[in-house]
Amino acid sequence: MDEAAFEKYLNDRYNDQVNWYDQKAMRYRRWSQTWRATLIATSALTPVVLVSHFLEPTQGWLAWVALGSAVVNLAATGTMKTFQFEEHWQRYRNTCEDLRSEIHFYRASAREYRDAQDKHAIFVHRVEEIIGRERKAWQEVREHREPMPAGH
């Protein structure tokens, strides 16, 4: 692979993929942390409100707050399980960091690059393997996802 083709690959494919995985990792991290914080808050709130309701039975609205908190807790748990924000965040971050590491091995002539005749071709091959691994993991997640019930 000549230098011009390699630079084109770096600009058009490699950098694009690093940025894509980085953006997706950050996005899924935000979603994961938001839902986890919601789950923690509602998990802590529900028993406190229930105890308050039993101590002050005349405050009927406390029962509704406890019920609402429990419903939000259930929704947060279901959302986290269904959309697997944390799993996607970790997978995308790992893929991004694997891609970022590869350019450093290439530039340092380390590992496979040390005595290579065509460092460019090895780099492209290794990057495409990393991307392919992620694509295969994504397909496996999609194939093993529980199907929606009929009528939904």
Q: Decide if 57 contacts 121 (C-beta within 8 A).
A: no
Binned at pLDDT 50, 70 and 90, residue 70 comes out as very high
Span 7-18, mean pLDDT?
97
Span 42-59, mean pLDDT?
85
Binned at pLDDT 50, 70 and 90, residue 106 comes out as very high
3-class secondary structure, 57? coil
State the Cα–Cα distance between residues 9 and 132, nearest whole angstrom: 16
State the Cα–Cα distance between residues 138 and 149, nearest whole angstrom: 22
- Helical segments of 2-118, H only: 3-9, 15-55, 61-83, 85-107
Q: Decide if 18 contacts 100 (C-beta within 8 A).
A: yes
pLDDT of 72 higher than 60: yes
Question: What is the separation, in whole angstroms, between the first and last Cα of the chain?
Answer: 51
Task: Spell out the domain ranges in the chain.
Answer: 3-144
